[in-house]
Amino acid sequence: MSVGIERLAAYIPSYALSLRDLALARDVPPEKMTAGLGVHEMAIAAPCEDVVTLAASAGLRCLRRAGIDPGEIGLLLLATETGVDHSKPVAIFVHELLGIGRHCRVYELKHACYAGTAGLMTAADWVRAGGSRRRKALVIASDIARYELRSAGEPTQGAGAVAMLVGNEPRVLSLEADSGTYAANVYDFWRPFGRREALVDGKFSVECYLDALAGAFLQYRALERPPLGSQEALSDRLARLLYHTPFPKMASKAHRRLIEVDWRAAGQRLAKAEPTLDESIAASFRELAAPGIEAVSHIGNTYTASLYFCLAGILEREARALAGRRIGLFSYGSGCCAEFFTGTVPNGVESVADSGLRELLGSRTMIDMAEYERLMTTGELGGEPPPSFTGEFAFHGIRNDRREYGRLRASLAA
């Protein structure tokens, strides 16, 4: 049975900050952020937005695009590391806002940025096992990435959500069952109770990511079907490679590591003259990985949703070219857990390739440094949506220790 993503919808907040403005304010050469990290803009949530409203807006857009009645959802999985309560899951607020029926399994998943993939794999297994009984799963990855102002992590913030309808008619991505996984207890990135901003050992986190990539990919490689011709190039096996992208330069470091690991596993020596090796890796990056990071360079890190923004981005850019071809995806969550998996983009994908991402990117309001710092220091207070607001739901605030939300459009079918 084919199982995978039937429909995909994205949502990003309506504010964004230019990384050039951030660099000038922090007295850093702008090229360090735009070339060194590869980030041009990062999405910033308005006070009336939180991880629930981001998730619900993406979820609603996904159900509308698929023409699915919320009652057909039998499993709602919400992946986030921006939880709003120690006990009450983000998922149950979203369940109510989307009008999903009572007979639904609903929960939140957490393992840093890996949780989006944990949700996708769990939903796919639920469909394969027959638990769905012709119903669908809705997996939503939603996060707001925050680091301390003026810290090294500051240019790698962002916010957004991606919703994926999972079932046995995968029109967006048909998942292959084999994958490679990797896990290890490392302190590379974490957010202790009571802290709004993450703590990170930045350089170490990059090493942890690359080690996890090598570990997961090598396990996947041993299972790869059809069995590998030992010298077959990556570009003959996969049309694109998408990486969890905390900042675009990370994807280029990842691609280099993947190629090196693949070559060594194929018994090839990396003894070519250095310029030739670098040129060959750069060409492979341009072909296989660069298309996936274009959208993300205007959004920033979205933690659980990051990999799926890469997927949304390539489908909107080049659906026709990818139809019928296999792609590879690498998911990394600090702490850490990682997975390398593959899927085939079905023929006819063009008709479902619009996730709304391009339109959202084109309708944002750029904010200045003063507004950015005000938003980052006041936090999510809830409140009235700004005039340019594109979301479907608003966070009104916290009263009597209870969070309150409202729907901004009269009808879910609108």
What are the residues binding ligand HMG (CB under 6 A)?
29, 31-32, 35-37, 81, 112-113, 152-153, 155-156, 188-189, 200, 202-203, 205-206, 209, 244, 246-247, 249-250, 301, 303, 332-334
**Does residue 113 carry a catalytic annotation?**
yes
In whole angstroms, what is the distance from residue 320 CA to residue 316 CA? 9
Minimum gap (Å) between residue 111 Cβ and ligand HMG: 8
Q: Which is nearer to ligand HMG, 19 or 375 (CB)?
A: 19
Burial (CB < 10 A; 0-12, 13-18, 19+), residue 242, is buried
263-289: burial string, b at 16+ Cβ within 10 Å, e else: beeeeeeeeeeeeebeeebeebbeebb
The least CB distance from residue 410 to ligand HMG, in Å, is 37
Query: Which residue number, 126 or 189, has a Cβ lying nearer to ligand HMG?
Result: 189
Nearer to ligand HMG by Cβ, of 112 and 137: the residue is: 112
- Looking at residue 48, its amino acid is C
CB of 157 to ligand HMG, least distance (A): 9
Residues near 212 by Cβ (< 8 Å), separated by ≥ 6? 182, 184, 332, 336, 337, 338
From the candidates 244, 339, 380, 392, which is the catalytic residue? 244
Distance in Å, CB of 220 to ligand HMG, minimum: 19
350 noted as active-site residue: no
Report residue 328 as tokens: 């590879």
Is the peptide bond preceding residue 336 cis, with omega within 30 degrees of 0?
yes
Task: Choose the catalytic residue: 41, 49, 72, 81.
Answer: 81
Annotated catalytic, 81? yes
**Is residue 144 within 8 Å of 335, Cβ to Cβ?**
no
Give the closest residue to 51 by CA, choosing from 248, 188, 243, 196: 196
Q: Which residue is nearest to ligand HMG (CB)?
A: 36
Q: Provide the H-helix boundaries in 167-273.
A: 202-223, 234-237, 248-265
For ligand HMG, which is the closer residue by CB, 245 or 342? 245
Smallest gap from residue 42 Cβ to ligand HMG (A): 12
Instruction: Show which residues are catalytic.
Output: 81, 113, 244
